[in-house]
């Protein structure tokens, strides 16, 4: 009994280590984010990033709804649904999507030009659509695993907050509320996602599929920034 428990625990520790090692491929190391955090972006580049990232923000609840639709586990759904209301809000004027629009306004964009996608570049659309499609069509536990990039997000959010206040003071700091909220939401969300993945991925095969899903998501985030970087050169 003791030795079985010990073996299972070692397996899941090794699995979690494998997942955490994907931090090496996280988009905090993308040259565009490095320049952003060093204060090297022009206002045009910051606006281009905000306008394009909006497409990610507005599609996150759709991919979470796809996970809910595919998930037969009541307990998981009961917790997962919170992600949708965090982004959509429960009344007009609330939620993460609204907070991102306010970030855009603070950066000098209008709501209209963010919402009508006039700045959206093809590579960003392609990357985000691929993420939503992955969550619709792959087994729900793999879709949950793909959300685990959020394990690495809080450090980047904290860095970003400091960087924006320091280097981009032309943006009203009130516009940064989205990132402050994510500092609390991301750890809560990814703790749940990690529990689900550990509980459901017990075989080497299912653990490998979860790691592949996380690898795919690293590519989504990296590809998205590649497209923005190319669209808004120095
Ligand atoms: O700005 C970022 O660097 C960043 C990264 C990620 C991420 O790692 O996937 C998310 C977010 N932001 C974010 O705001 C967010 O709501 C979010 C949801 C998810 C997801 O996969 O479910 N990732 C992320």
Q: Is the pLDDT of residue 133 over 80?
A: yes
CB 227 within 8 A of CB 122: yes
Q: Could you tell me which of 25, 12, 6, 5 has the C-alpha nearest to residue 197?
A: 12
Please report which confidence band the pLDDT of residue 234 belongs to, taking 50, 70 and 90 as the band edges.
Answer: confident
The set of protein residues with a Cβ atom below 6 angstroms from ligand 1 is 60, 147, 149-150, 153, 156, 182, 221
Measured in Å, residue 150 CA sits from the centre of ligand 1 at 6
Q: What string of DSSP letters covers 181-206?
A: HHHHHHHHHHHHHHHHHHHH--SHHH
Q: Is 6 helix (H, G, I), strand (E, B) or coil?
A: helix
Q: Locate the domains of the chain by residue range.
A: 44-231
DSSP label of 211: H
Q: Is the pLDDT of residue 2 over 50?
A: no
Q: Is the pLDDT of residue 229 over 90?
A: yes
Average of pLDDT values for 163-188? Answer: 96
pLDDT digits 0-9 by tens, 100-124 = 999 999 999 999 999 999 999 999 9
Q: Between the CA of residue 200 and those of 21, 131, 156, 219, what are the distances in Å?
A: 20, 21, 28, 24
Q: Compute the distance between CA of residue 160 and CA of residue 28 in angstroms, rounded to an integer.
A: 10
Q: Compute the distance between CA of residue 187 and CA of residue 156 in angstroms, rounded to an integer.
A: 12
Q: Give the pLDDT of residue 103.
A: 98
Q: Which of 186, 190, 214 to mutate to test the pocket of ligand 1 (most atoms within 8 A of CB)?
A: 186
Average pLDDT across the chain, whole number: 95
Q: Which of 25, 60, 178, 196 to mutate to test the pocket of ligand 1 (most atoms within 8 A of CB)?
A: 60
pLDDT digits 0-9 by tens, 16-73 = 999 999 999 999 999 999 999 999 999 999 999 999 999 999 999 999 999 999 999 9
CA dihedral 75, 197, 214, 232 (to 10 degrees): 30
Q: Is 176 helix (H, G, I), strand (E, B) or coil?
A: helix
Q: Ligand 1, atom 6: nearest CA belongs to which residue?
A: 150
Q: Is the pLDDT of residue 10 over 60?
A: no
pTM of the predicted protein model: 0.94
Residues 6+ apart with CB under 8 A from 209: 139, 142, 145, 201
Fold of 44-231: Heme Oxygenase; Chain A (1.20.910)
Q: Which of 59, 88, 153 to mutate to test the pocket of ligand 1 (most atoms within 8 A of CB)?
A: 153
Residues 6+ apart with CB under 8 A from 98: 89, 92
Q: Is the pLDDT of residue 128 over 80?
A: yes
């Amino acid at each position: 009994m003791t030795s079985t428990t010990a073996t299972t625990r070692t397996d899941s520790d090794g699995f979690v280590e494998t997942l955490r090692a994907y931090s090496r491929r996280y988009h905090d190391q993308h040259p565009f984010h490095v320049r952003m955090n060093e204060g090297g972006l022009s206002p045009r580049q910051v606006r281009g990033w905000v306008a394009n990232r909006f497409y990610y923000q507005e599609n996150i609840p759709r991919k979470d709804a796809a996970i809910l639709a595919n998930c037969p586990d009541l307990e998981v759904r009961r917790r997962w649904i919170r992600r949708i209301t965090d982004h959509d809000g429960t009344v007009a004027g609330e939620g993460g999507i609204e907070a991102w629009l306010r970030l855009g306004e603070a950066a000098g964009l209008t709501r209209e030009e963010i919402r009508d996608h006039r700045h959206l570049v093809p590579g960003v659309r392609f990357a985000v659509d691929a993420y939503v499609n992955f969550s619709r069509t792959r087994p729900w536990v793999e879709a949950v695993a793909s959300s685990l990039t959020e394990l690495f997000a809080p450090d980047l959010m904290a860095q970003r907050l400091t960087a924006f206040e320091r280097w981009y003071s032309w943006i009203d700091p009130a516009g940064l509320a989205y990132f402050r909220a994510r500092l609390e939401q991301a750890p809560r969300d990814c703790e749940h996602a990690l529990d689900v993945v550990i509980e459901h991925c017990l075989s080497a095969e299912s653990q490998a599929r979860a790691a592949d899903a996380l690898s795919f998501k690293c590519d989504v985030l990296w590809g998205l920034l590649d497209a923005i970087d190319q669209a808004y050169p120095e």
